[in-house]
Amino acid sequence: MVKQESESANRPDNTAFTQQRLPAWQPILSAGIVIPGFVLIGLAFIGIGVALLVTSRSIQVLELDYTGDSNGSPCSSCSQSDIANCKCSLNFTLTTLFQGPVFFYYGLSNYFQNYRRYGASKDDNQLYGDLSSFTSPSSSCSPYNYDSSKKPIVPCGSIANSMFNDTFTLTRTVSGTTNNVTLDGKGIAWWTDYNIKYRNPSVTPLKNAFNGTVKPINWAKPAYELDASDRSNNGFVNQDFLVWMRRAALPNFRKLYRRIDASGDYQKGLPAGNYTIDITYNYPVRAFNGAKKIVFSNVSWMGGSNEFLGIAYLVIGSLCVVMSVVMLIVYAKFKFPDEE
């Protein structure tokens, strides 16, 4: 008796939902539905693929390698020396207007930022401004958590220690006169990075928060002096630092360095003419057979130049159309009598 009462208490309500009596519709996938469906999907994918491919190919991209591997390269002398802040220059000519907005990237090849231990080599509490992590960096930063004198490194870890440190200035020569092209470095990092993920300690001046610590081994300046021209662009919210800390997924990548300031003669982009990029060459890449390049690019409604998505849509759309033809042939040859 007790068992029957227990079963009645656990029984679901006698409703259409709990007893699975709701009306349902199940499509009958006949050849008259499937074959036209594949054709329509294929044509739609092909149309989207063509639009994406045409848009991607309309984006202007200029790549300039400055690794300095060959003796004829302008930066060959810098790549073969250990001189800090070695100077070299790249000259290039634009025959037509480079449509704006123009983005200035640096690119690295054969550089595996997606390596697991490399990606884990940082102290999130330290990067969020926790002063206790300044004096006791996380063990995940090892061997870049303390220097040889056992002083804590801030910011610690492999990612921060390997921060890209080449710098660039762009000039344009007009009628024998050289003019600087203004490069805008504001807002090049993700908004969530400099507003949420990374924080400077609430200490004024910022330099005092770093008392008793040392800068990363490969850095020329401490974190609180990364940008002498803008006090708000120092510490862990420095734009270049934030761009570098967001790791790349693939070994060949580019990261945003600056934007061309859209003012004066450059409102529509980079005009045709002769340009020079003055490079302060610091970052070594030859030890791991890497390469460095400068990339100028503009964007469209779909972002930067990337033909993969358009090609993928074309391939899938073509396969759908081909499969619809195959199914039509099979259906015409082997259709059942009751479908005639």
CA distance 218 to 155: 12
Name the burial class of residue 76, with classes exposed (0-12), middle (13-18) and buried (19+) by CB atoms within 10 angstroms of its CB: middle
The per-residue pLDDT for range 111-126, each reduced to its tens digit, is: 999 999 999 999 999 9
Q: How many domains does the chain have?
A: 2
| Residue 16 within a domain | no
Residue 72 and residue 55 share a domain: no
> Which amino acid, 293?
K
| Residue 102 within a domain | no
CA–CA–CA angle 81, 86, 87 (5° rounding)? 130
**What tokens appear for 75 in the block?**
């930066």
The per-residue pLDDT for range 122-163, each reduced to its tens digit, is: 999 999 999 999 999 999 999 999 999 999 999 999 999 999
Write out the residue range of the structural domain in which residue 319 sits: 34-59+302-335
CA distance 231 to 315: 51
User: What's the rounded mean pLDDT across residues 48-56?
Assistant: 94
Q: 3-class DSSP state for residue 106?
A: strand
| Residue 268 within a domain | no
Residue 175 and residue 128 share a domain: yes
pTM above 0.75, yes or no: yes
Residue 307 and residue 193 share a domain: no
| Residue 181 within a domain | yes
| Residue 320 within a domain | yes
| Residue 257 within a domain | no
Residue 203 and residue 225 share a domain: yes
Which residue has tokens 């060459």? 281
CA atoms within 13 A on the CB side of 203: 15
Please give the pLDDT value at position 2: 53
Please give the pLDDT value at position 80: 80
Q: With a cut of 80, say whether residue 50 has pLDDT above it.
A: yes
Residue 85 and residue 230 share a domain: yes
| Residue 9 within a domain | no
The DSSP H or E segment spanning 280 is strand 273-281
Task: Report the 10 Å Cβ neighbour count for 124.
Answer: 13
Residue 136 and residue 78 share a domain: yes
Residue 318 and residue 247 share a domain: no
The per-residue pLDDT for range 184-213, each reduced to its tens digit, is: 999 999 999 999 999 999 998 999 999 999
Residue 130 and residue 196 share a domain: yes
CA distance 155 to 145: 8
Task: Report the 10 Å Cβ neighbour count for 138.
Answer: 17
| Residue 259 within a domain | no
Residue 44 and residue 159 share a domain: no
Residue 51 and residue 78 share a domain: no
Residue 307 and residue 245 share a domain: no
Q: Are strands 253-260 and 167-174 parallel, antiparallel or unpaired?
A: unpaired
Residue 325 and residue 215 share a domain: no
